[in-house]
């Protein structure tokens, strides 16, 4: 676990519970003095982030309630802008504006990016700022998006963590399955043609 992420997540209450459960010593190295890590987007993180077609986003209301929402779009709609910044075009939705309203009072956000097929996930925590208007979001707008953008959402990354793959159930998108389905379809077509050929030979032999 990178230091930047653990320093934010291992609050005094969390550390106290780790002490009670006997795991504090094993996690102490992640908050010990040393160079900061896990706050800069490297090549692996950039490739992973920009290959996603969705992510889970959590905000917290002014009354303390967490709210989790799924953000989806064409592959690559979540962009890496630099080593500390990601962004996306915030599209028109049902106009409840729960996440948007929460972020007016608390700009902290937590994201989980999933690659179910390969059992990988990346957790990101950061702070969000908005630039309102479709024109501001134009450079982040992804072709194939279902609705128009209302604003640009810019996230300054404070920490990241490649989380344990345990308990991730593999799931596959149509795009991930398509090469395998095409191969299977070709094999079925070949077997069907062979079956028809053999049936024709049997029928011909009966007329001799």
How many Å apart are CA 25 and CA 139, to the nearest integer? 46
Query: How much of the chain is helix, strand and coil, in % rounded to 5?
Result: 40, 30, 35
- Give yes or no for a contact between 33 and 62, defined as CB atoms under 8 angstroms apart: no
Tens digits of residue pLDDT in 46-92: 999 999 999 999 999 999 999 999 999 999 999 999 999 999 999 98
- Give yes or no for a contact between 138 and 149, defined as CB atoms under 8 angstroms apart: yes
Whole-structure pTM over 0.95, yes or no?
no
Predicted confidence band of residue 208 (pLDDT cuts 50, 70, 90): low
How many Å apart are CA 78 and CA 11, to the nearest integer? 29
Three-state secondary structure call for residue 100: helix
pLDDT at 10 over 90: yes
Q: What is the pLDDT of residue 146?
A: 86
Tens digits of residue pLDDT in 139-188: 999 888 888 999 999 999 999 999 888 899 999 988 889 999 999 999 99
End-to-end CA distance of the chain: 77
pLDDT at 204 over 90: no
Percent of the chain with pLDDT over 70: 100
Predicted confidence band of residue 196 (pLDDT cuts 50, 70, 90): very high
Q: What is the pLDDT of residue 20?
A: 96
Q: What CATH number belongs to 38-162? A: 2.30.110.10
Q: Which residue has the tokens 């179910």?
A: 116
Q: Which helix (H) or strand (E) holds 111?
A: strand 108-115
Q: What is the pLDDT of residue 93?
A: 86
Q: What is the pLDDT of residue 49?
A: 98
Tens digits of residue pLDDT in 101-153: 999 999 999 999 999 999 999 999 999 999 999 898 999 998 888 889 999 99
């Amino acid at each position: 676990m990178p230091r930047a992420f653990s320093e934010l997540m291992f609050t005094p209450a969390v550390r106290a519970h780790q002490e009670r459960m006997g795991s504090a010593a094993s996690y102490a190295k992640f908050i010990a003095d040393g160079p900061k890590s896990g706050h800069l987007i490297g090549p692996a993180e950039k490739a992973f982030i920009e290959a996603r077609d969705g992510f889970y986003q959590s905000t917290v209301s002014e009354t303390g309630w967490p709210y989790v929402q799924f953000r989806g779009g064409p592959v690559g709609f979540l962009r890496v802008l630099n080593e500390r910044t990601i962004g996306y075009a915030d599209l028109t939705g049902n106009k409840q504006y729960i996440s948007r309203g929460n972020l007016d009072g608390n700009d902290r956000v937590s994201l989980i990016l999933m690659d179910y097929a390969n059992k990988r996930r990346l957790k990101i925590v950061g702070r969000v700022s908005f630039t309102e208007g479709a024109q501001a979001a134009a450079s982040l707008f992804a072709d194939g998006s279902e609705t128009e953008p209302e604003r640009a959402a810019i996230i300054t990354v404070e920490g990241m963590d490649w989380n344990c793959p345990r308990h991730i159930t593999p799931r596959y998108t149509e795009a991930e399955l398509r090469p395998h389905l095409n191969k299977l379809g070709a094999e079925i077509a070949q077997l069907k043609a062979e079956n028809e050929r053999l049936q024709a030979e049997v029928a011909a032999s009966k007329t001799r």
